[in-house]
Amino acid sequence: MILVDSNIPMYLIGVDHTHKFDSQRLIEKFLSERQRLVSDAEVLQEMLHRYTSIRRHRFIQQAFDALYGIVDEVLPVDKEVMERAKQIVLAHTEASARDAVHLAVMEQNGIDRILSFDSGFDQFPGITRLF
């Protein structure tokens, strides 16, 4: 199972960019290999936040549709995930809150691979970032 980070669907729907083509290539590869791709509710929040903050509301539905089109499931973010995310940021002060939530979801669901261009995940042993 591979967790898909928010940057992937945003690159998929965005303008031409190196990461857009990398995202397309990787998604096609994993889908052809029948890899199980999942995401989490924090990714939806991140996309809402990003497009709202840059006043590009028209891209919100496209980003959601892109994510829903490639993942098998969107995992919940509940109290237990947030408690674990809190522990992660307290132990790793350089970690972002968003990354900590993703890591907590991954831990709760036995996921050790993440599709992301965010190098912040590289500091966590046992996590493989695919990019």
Task: Indicate whether 16 pLDDT > 90.
Answer: no
Is 90 exceeded by the pLDDT of residue 90? yes
Residue 101 counted as domain residue: no
Domain count across the chain: 1
Residue where the block lists tokens 């042993």: 125
What's the pTM value of the predicted model, to 2 decimals?
A: 0.91
Q: Which domain holds residue 53?
A: 2-76+111-130
> Do the bridges between strand 128-130 and strand 2-4 make them parallel or antiparallel, or are there none, so unpaired?
unpaired
Residue 17 has pLDDT above 90, yes or no: no
Q: What is the DSSP letter of 88?
A: H
User: Is 97 a member of any domain?
Assistant: no
Domain assignment present for residue 85? The answer is no
